[in-house]
């Protein structure tokens, strides 16, 4: 794998992980369950779980 591509892949994974952790922290701060956040956001609960897992 080309070094630039490896760096990009790692950066994307870290970004997703950071986004997921931030979403989870904000959701918990708002005292919302994943289901409640999903309903408010208009997305399936599985999408919220997927993002929080860094996928």
Half-sphere exposure of residue 29: CA atoms within 13 angstroms, side-chain side: 6
Q: Which residue has the higher pLDDT, 11 or 55?
A: 55
In angstroms, the CA 15 to CA 25 distance is: 15
Is residue 48 a part of any domain in this protein?
Answer: yes
Query: What is the predicted pLDDT for the residue at 5?
Result: 66
Residue 16's pLDDT band (cuts 50, 70, 90): confident
pLDDT of residue 31: 98
Could you read off the pLDDT of 27-53 as tens digits, one per residue?
Answer: 999 999 999 999 999 999 999 999 999
Contacts of 55 (CB under 8 A, 6+ apart): 16, 20
Q: Report the mean per-residue pLDDT for the chain.
A: 85
Q: Is residue 6 part of a domain?
A: no
- Is residue 25 a part of any domain in this protein? yes
What is the DSSP secondary structure assignment for residue 42, as one 8-state letter?
T
Q: Let me know if residue 24 belongs to a domain.
A: yes
Contact yes or no for 18/52 (Cβ under 8 A):
no
Instruction: Say how many domains are in the chain.
Output: 1
Q: Does some domain include residue 3?
A: no
Tell whether 38 is covered by a domain.
yes
Residue 13 banded pLDDT, cuts 50, 70, 90: low
Domain of 19?
14-52
The answer as to whether 33 is a domain residue is yes
Cβ atoms < 10 Å from Cβ of 38:
18
């Amino acid at each position: 794998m080309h070094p630039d591509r490896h760096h990009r892949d790692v950066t994307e994974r870290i970004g997703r992980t950071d986004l997921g952790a931030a979403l989870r922290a904000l959701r918990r701060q708002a005292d919302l369950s994943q289901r409640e956040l999903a309903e408010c956001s208009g997305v399936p609960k599985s999408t919220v779980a997927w993002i929080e897992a860094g996928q």
